[in-house]
Amino acid sequence: MSTRTDAQPAAYARRWWVLLVLSASVFLVVVDNLIINVALPTLQRELDAGTSALQWIVDAYALVFACLLLAGGGIGDRLGRKRTMQIGLLIFAACSGAAALASTSGQLIFWRGAMGVGAALIFPATLAIITNLFTDPVERAKAIGIWSAVSGMAVAFGPIAGGFLLEHFWWGSVFLINLPIVAAALVAGAVLVPESKAAESGRIDTVGLVLSFVGIAALVFTVIESPHWGWGSARSNLGFALSVAVLAAFVRWESRREHPLLDVRFFRNARFSAATGSIGIAFFSLFGFTFLVTQYFQFVRGYDPLESGVRTLPFALGAGITAPIAARAALRWGTKRVVALGLFLMSTGFFIVGTIDADAAYFGPIIASMVIMAMGLSLVTSPSTDAVMGTLPLDKAGVGSAVNDLSREVGGTLGVAVTGSVFVSLYGPRLTERFGEIPGLAQALPPEVVEVASNSVGAAYAVVQQAPADAVEPMLLAVSDSFMRGFGTACLVVSGVALVGSLAALRFLPARPAKE
């Protein structure tokens, strides 16, 4: 059973204010997961970062975040969720400041990863505190709906805020903006948020922590680097084999522990496991799409960072409207139907954007696809999160929250890795082919310049600016066509994954808890 401090009754009376503080904290974490996307073209220019480096700038944060979520949830259960969240906010702020001062892509990747440590302490604590405060199922559904709506709106606010900052300040400002938000969250949290922790818990499972970190890291690293190594190459196969072996060892180790980092027996509950899988698939799709769409807006459509960010606003509107009612809809019509519909809507949205051409109307298929995606995401996350947290006892709220968040982050991290890899695998060869079709270009451009252009969209446009005047227009068309080939195929892959997830939810996700 979860223990609570003497301040808990008073905290229950002001629980909706506590929810506001927790939502602000999770908003910070989600925004920073996505705010970097709108800065990717700028980072290509300022830090000379290629596509692989950009993937790691995005994924370093999400990867460390994902790998440490189980530990973060366990620490919160043992040491206190409020205390853990406060420590996480301090780490997050310090590393944000360091990231803003990075002078190379390698330094930025390191500090982005360090920020993930703080995020892993913050995120599970917020949902665990909500679960402990909102024990009534209907109220909990409403609270999780609001929590999810904030996460959904942060998906769009991140690019808008990033675009505004890049428009008026240097790129490091996208990290410095975290500092005043953290300060406000720390003060409000100290006053309003109650402390809670598990009544009985063992020591942190360090072996499980190491195994989970190595297994997840090996999987994501291999997916990101396989386009460069070659799919099916010895290094690629070894990376996948290592990840499978280590994750299998993790499952075996956890199943024998008295106080495991993750009690794998939770997954015997179909509602818990299917809901967790649905969240992972939804965020796989979302993060993979956002990684590429900001580059589409800036490189192909020629929008500046702020214009690109503003054009993601329909996503926030769709998510904000749908999320608060999604969990309650699941209570009425069943989790199975609502989650399956959500994944189907996401699949539809990705299919629409995967079939557009470079100059498709923004006020048409692009807006329609984003609204449909956002509505689908909200229909998945609120009911699935409620299903995960409602399945577990209160004293497991921290670890349950960590599993929920882990599915989001691993799904999102793999989404960036897989879509980035699909894009790189198609964009580079296509650009080399198209450049080769332009008369006289082979003599004007050295092979090494073509190779640089094929590794980075930003570098390709820089190469075009230095090309002979009569070759500029056909080269621009070649870059745009190559980008759309990779972008469209990646979106169709994501659409297929979401569709499979929808069918899996219909097949495996129970409509309601077994006790009902």
Confidence label for 498 from pLDDT (cuts 50, 70 and 90) = very high
Which residues have C-beta within 8 Å of that of residue 136, sequence separation ≥ 6? none
Pairing of strands 196-198, 2-4: antiparallel
| Per-residue model confidence (pLDDT) at position 345 | 93
Residue 324 reports pLDDT greater than 80: no
With a pLDDT cut of 70, the percent of the chain lying above it is: 81
What is the CA angle 452-457-463, rounded to 5?
Answer: 55
| Residue 240 structure tokens | 């996948």
At 402-419, the pLDDT tens digits run 676 677 767 776 777 788
Question: Six-digit token pair at 56?
Answer: 């790691």
Using DSSP, state whether 3 is helix, strand or coil.
strand
Please give the full DSSP string across 15-80, using - where no structure is assigned.
HHHHHHHHHHHHHHHHHHHHGGGGGHHHHHHHS---HHHHHHHHHHHHHHHHHHHHHHHHHHHHH-
Q: Which of residues 455 and 126 earns the better pLDDT score?
A: 126
Mean pLDDT, rounded, for 476-484: 85
> CA-to-CA distance for 481 and 441, rounded, in angstroms?
17
C-alpha angle 410-414-420 in degrees, rounded to nearest 5: 150
Is the pLDDT confidence value at 163 over 70?
Answer: yes
pLDDT per position as a tens digit, 103-114: 888 888 899 889
Half-sphere exposure in the Cβ direction for 495 (13 Å, CA): 19
250, 217 in Cβ contact below 8 A? no
| pLDDT, tens digit (0-9, with 9 covering 90-100), for 326-369 | 777 777 787 888 889 999 999 999 999 888 888 888 888 888 88
- Would you say residue 382 has pLDDT above 90? no
Give the C-alpha separation, 158 to 313, whole Å: 10
Please name the residue that has the structure tokens 């929810």: 19
Distance CA 213, CA 380 (A): 27
> For residue 240, is pLDDT > 60?
yes
Q: What are phi and psi of 302, to 5 degrees?
A: 80, 20
Say how far apart CA 416 and CA 56 lie, in whole Å: 9
The predicted pLDDT at position 448 comes to 66
Determine the pLDDT at residue 329.
78
Global confidence as pTM: 0.69
Distant-in-sequence contacts of 309-314, Cβ < 8 A, 24+ apart: 309/38, 309/158, 309/159, 309/160, 309/161, 309/162, 309/163, 309/164, 310/160, 310/163, 311/362, 311/366, 312/155, 312/156, 312/159, 312/160, 312/370, 313/156, 313/160, 314/156, 314/367, 314/370, 314/371, 314/374
pLDDT in tens, 181-236: 888 888 887 877 777 766 655 677 788 888 888 887 787 778 767 766 777 788 88
User: Which pLDDT does position 351 carry in this prediction?
Assistant: 93
Better-scored residue on pLDDT, 438 or 391: 438
**Mean pLDDT to the nearest integer, 59-68:** 77
**5: pLDDT confidence band, cut at 50, 70 and 90?**
very low
Residues shown for the chain: 516
pLDDT band per the 50, 70, 90 thresholds, residue 516: very low
Instruction: Give the Cα separation of 362 and 313 in Å (integer).
Output: 12
| 416 HSE (CA, 13 A, CB side) | 28
CATH code at 2-205+257-427+485-508: 1.20.1250.20
pLDDT at residue 434 greater than cutoff 50: yes
C-alpha–C-alpha distance, residues 261 and 73, integer Å: 9
Q: Write a three-state SS string for 171-184.
A: CCHHHHCHHHHHHH
Residue among 402, 322, 454 nearest 88 (CA): 402
pLDDT of residue 347: 93
pLDDT bucket at 294, cuts 50 / 70 / 90: confident
**Beta-bridge mates of residue 197:** 3
Distance (Å, whole) CA 483 – CA 491: 12
65: nearest Cα among 325, 480, 417, 409: 409
What are the boundaries of each domain within the chain?
Answer: 2-205+257-427+485-508
Q: Which residues pair with 324 in a beta bridge?
A: none
Average pLDDT across the chain, whole number = 78
Burial class (CB in 10 A: 0-12, 13-18, 19+), 299: buried
- Residue 198 dihedral angles phi and psi, to the nearest 5°: -70, 140
Radius of gyration of the chain (CA): 23
Residue-level pLDDT at 402: 65
Q: Residue 289 in contact with residue 353, Cβ under 8 Å?
A: yes
**Whether the predicted pLDDT of 245 surpasses 90:** yes
pLDDT(241) > 90: yes
Nearest to 287 by CA among 195, 407, 201: 407
Element (H, E) at 280: helix 270-295
User: Cα separation of 51 and 296, whole Å?
Assistant: 14
Hey, which bits of 129-198 come out as E strands?
196-198
* Least confident among 30-34, 182-186, 198-202, 426-430: 198-202
Collect all residues with Cβ–Cβ distance below 8 Å to 9 and sequence separation of at least 6.
none
Residue 292: per-residue pLDDT? 77
Comparison of pLDDT for 486 and 33, the residue scoring more? 486
